[in-house]
Chains A and B, each alone.
Chain A
């Protein structure tokens, strides 16, 4: 079985400060890891993914995430937050042997001006 944990329901950060949204995962094999963002009443937008290679993955809108196998983590980061980054962020994992994604419960990011 595969699972994802996002320990924070909400993250608050001031504009211009760095942000981190945490994600840990559990799979039986090697993982494919994803971050998605969802704006109100909208579908999910892809931010970035880790498949293989460099542990630091760069994605859309200045976001990046670091794959840490020993800690089974894939935290989302951005050096300088924008108010427009305020949204719901989902981490997702897929075992390489399966086609379905398992999502975390989501973390609401609120960036204050």
Chain B
């Protein structure tokens, strides 16, 4: 299946600093990527949809200025947590719909391929 990577896999930062998380589709192009947040023992909550070449679409209740998303290319989306606070500590997961080896725009049959996640701890 298609591979999605995330970097870093874990990060510890001080309160007030900004942290950038990268999500890459390694063997396929993704015009769309999704960013999720997962609290311990809870489900994944969709934060935003990252769109290549246009602004991200944020879910209700997600602060756009707090969680900056940039879809720089067809294989890279970044999530920057600005002025991080301890309550931002969480597991962040990205995903991309696609067909392995395909450059086509995803169809409704496509799976979502998930990155391994990034554990953010804000002290």
- Residues on B with beta carbons closer than 8 Å to the beta carbon of A108: 41
- Residues on A with beta carbons closer than 8 Å to the beta carbon of B116: 42-43
Beta-carbon contact of B114 and A36 below 8 Å: yes
Question: A42 vs B114: C-alpha distance in the bound complex, in angstroms?
Answer: 10
Closest chain A residue, CB of each to CB of B45: A103
What's the dominant secondary structure at chain B's contact region?
A: strand
Interface size class, chain B: 20 to 34
Question: A99 vs B95: C-alpha distance in the bound complex, in angstroms?
Answer: 12
Beta-carbon contact of A90 and B43 below 8 Å: yes
Asked if A41 CB lies within 8 Å of chain B CBs, one says yes
Asked if B27 CB lies within 8 Å of chain A CBs, one says no
Beta-carbon contact of A44 and B93 below 8 Å: yes
Beta-carbon contact of A101 and B114 below 8 Å: no
- Residues on B with beta carbons closer than 8 Å to the beta carbon of A97: 108
| Distance from A60 Cβ to chain B, minimum over Cβ atoms (Å) | 10
Interface size class, chain A: 20 to 34
Partner of A105, one of B6, B43, B91: B43
Beta-carbon contact of B42 and A106 below 8 Å: yes
- Residues on B with beta carbons closer than 8 Å to the beta carbon of A45: 114
Beta-carbon contact of B97 and A99 below 8 Å: yes
Beta-carbon contact of A51 and B49 below 8 Å: no
Interface positions, chain A 5-38, Cβ under 8 Å from B, are 32, 34, 36
- Residues on A with beta carbons closer than 8 Å to the beta carbon of B4: 43
The 8 closest A-B pairs by CB, nearest first: A43-B116, A44-B114, A43-B117, A105-B43, A43-B114, A103-B43, A103-B44, A106-B43
**B residues adjacent to A (C-beta < 8 A):** 1, 4, 6, 32, 34, 41-44, 46, 49, 91, 93, 95, 97, 106, 108-109, 111-117, 119
Beyond A43-B6, A44-B95, 17 additional contacts (C-beta under 8 Å) are A32-B109, A34-B111, A43-B4, A43-B93, A43-B117, A46-B111, A46-B113, A46-B114, A90-B43, A90-B44, A96-B108, A99-B32, A100-B49, A101-B34, A101-B95, A103-B44, A106-B43
